[in-house]
C-alpha cells in the first residue's frame, strides 16, 4: 500500500481509503466489520464516514455508519492506528432528505458543536483526525448540478463563522484537522484566505467526486489542490458502480445500488453509457477489469491524496484494493484521454 501526506500535516493516509456510506443500509454491522478487518490487513489506514450516512439518508438509519465504525474501533483497539474522518452535514434545504438531521442542518457554531459531539459519541472516540464540511452552506454547483446561478440571498451562514466554529474544535482537541467536501474553487480559496488572514486552521483536503465519467475537478480544483496542499479525497471513483461494467447493456443486477435506488441517476445518460462501454473496451484490451483500470486512473493523478472505495462485499473490496498496485502505461492513458475527448464529462 502506498501512503501520502494529508495536506501539510504529519499524517500519512493510505492511497486507498475506505468509504462507508452503504453501511447500515446495504451492509450489516457484521459485514462492515469484515470489510474493515480485511482493509486494515491490506494496509488501509484511512476510514471516511459522515453523520448523514448511510445513504440514501433516512431518519431511521442516520448515524448508523458512524456507530458501526465505533463498534469496530472499540472491539479491535485500533483507534490509534486509524486516520478517522467524518463530516458535518451542510445546509438542510440544499439537499432533499436531510431535514431530520438537527431539524435541518446548518453550518453555524451551534449546529457544528452538536454535530461533532454526536459523531464522537457514535464513533466511541474523543477526537477525529479530519472533520469535513459535507457540502456548502451557500447555494452553488455541487452534487451533480451543472452551471452556476448566483443568488447572494441564499448565501446563509458566512464561511468565516463556519471556519471559526471549526477552529474552536481544533483548539479543544476534538478535531485535529479540517477539510471540505463538494466544494468549488472559490470556496476552497475563501477558506484558505481566511485561514491565512485570521490564523485559523488550514484546509488539508477536498473530498469531491472524481472518476472517468466526471473529471470536472481537473478544471480549477486540481491546481488548487496542488498549490494549496489540499489534496483530493476522491469519492465515487467507481461512479456508483457504473464503472464496474455491471450495468452495461442496460443490466440491472439484483441488489445493486442503481437497481435498489432510482434516485441515483447521475450516471444514467446515454453519453455515460457510451463512454463506459468505450472504457470497458480499453480495459479488456490491456487485461484489466474495468473497475481496476478506473480506480488505477484515479490513484495515478498527482492531485489525489486518497481514492475512497466503497464495496458491498469482500470480493469487490479485494479487487478495489488491488487497483492501488496497478500503474497504467502511457499507452493506456492516451487511449483513456481519447475517450474523454469524445465524451467529455458525460456525468455532472
53 is catalytic: yes
- β-pairing, 46-48 with 304-309? unpaired
Three-class HEC string of the chain:
CCEEECCCCCCEEECEEEECCCECCCECHHHHHHHHHHHHHCCCCEEECCCCCCCCCCCCCCCHHHHHHHHHHHHHCCHHHCEEEEEECCCHHHCCCCCCCCCCCCCCHHHHHHHHHHHHHHHCCCCEEEEEECCCCCCCCCCCCCCCCCCHHHCCCCHHHHHHHHHHHHHHCCEEEEEEECCCHHHHHHHHHHHHHHCCCCEEEEECECECCECHHHCCHHHHHHHCCCEEEEECCCCCCHHHCCCHHHCCCCCCHHHHCCCCCCCCCHHHHHHHHHHHHHHHHCCCCHHHHHHHHHHCCCCEEEEEECCCCHHHHHHHHHHHHCCCCHHHHHHHHHHHHHCCCCCC
Q: How many residues does the chain have?
A: 348
Of the listed 38, 53, 267, 343, which one is catalytic?
53
b/e 185-207 (16+ beta carbons within 10 angstroms → b): bebbebbbebbeeeebbbbbbbb
| Sequence-distant (≥ 6) Cβ neighbours of residue 219 within 8 angstroms | none
Active site residues per annotation: 53
Amino acid at each position: 500500500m502506498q501512503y501520502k501526506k494529508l495536506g501539510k500535516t504529519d499524517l500519512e493516509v493510505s492511497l486507498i481509503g475506505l468509504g462507508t456510506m452503504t453501511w447500515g443500509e446495504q451492509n450489516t454491522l457484521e459485514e462492515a466489520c469484515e470489510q474493515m478487518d480485511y482493509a486494515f490487513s491490506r494496509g488501509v489506514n484511512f476510514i471516511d464516514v459522515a453523520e448523514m450516512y448511510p445513504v440514501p439518508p433516512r431518519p431511521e438509519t442516520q448515524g448508523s455508519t458512524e456507530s458501526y465504525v465505533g463498534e469496530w474501533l472499540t472491539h479491535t483497539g485500533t483507534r490509534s492506528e486509524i486516520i478517522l474522518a467524518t463530516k458535518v452535514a451542510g445546509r438542510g434545504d440544499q439537499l432533499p432528505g436531510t431535514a431530520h438531521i438537527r431539524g435541518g442542518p446548518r453550518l453555524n457554531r451551534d449546529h457544528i458543536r452538536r454535530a461533532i459531539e454526536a459523531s464522537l459519541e457514535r464513533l466511541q472516540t474523543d477526537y477525529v483526525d479530519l472533520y469535513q464540511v459535507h457540502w456548502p452552506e451557500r447555494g452553488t454547483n455541487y452534487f451533480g448540478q451543472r452551471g452556476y446561478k448566483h443568488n447572494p440571498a441564499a448565501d446563509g451562514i458566512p464561511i468565516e463563522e463556519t471556519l471559526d466554529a471549526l477552529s474552536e474544535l481544533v483548539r479543544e482537541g476534538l478535531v485535529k484537522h479540517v477539510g471540505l467536501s463538494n466544494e468549488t474553487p472559490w470556496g476552497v480559496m475563501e477558506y484558505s484566505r481566511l485561514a491565512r488572514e485570521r490564523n485559523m486552521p488550514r484546509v488539508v483536503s477536498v473530498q469531491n467526486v472524481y472518476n472517468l465519467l466526471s473529471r470536472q475537478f481537473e478544471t480549477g480544483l486540481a491546481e488548487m489542490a496542488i498549490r494549496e496542499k489540499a489534496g483530493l479525497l476522491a469519492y465515487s471513483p467507481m461512479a456508483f458502480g457504473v464503472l464496474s461494467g455491471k450495468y452495461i447493456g442496460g443490466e440491472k443486477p439484483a441488489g445493486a445500488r442503481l437497481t435498489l435506488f432510482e434516485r441515483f441517476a447521475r450516471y444514467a445518460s446515454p453519453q455515460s453509457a457510451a463512454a463506459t462501454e468505450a472504457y470497458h473496451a480499453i480495459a479488456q484490451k490491456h487485461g484489466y477489469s474495468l473497475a481496476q483500470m478506473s480506480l488505477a486512473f484515479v490513484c495515478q493523478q498527482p492531485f489525489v491524496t486518497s481514492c475512497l472505495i466503497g464495496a458491498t462485499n469482500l470480493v469487490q473490496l479485494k479487487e478495489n484494493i488491488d487497483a492501488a498496485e496497478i500503474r497504467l502505461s502511457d499507452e493506456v492513458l492516451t487511449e483513456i484521454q481519447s475517450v474523454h475527448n469524445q465524451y467529455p464529462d458525460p456525468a455532472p
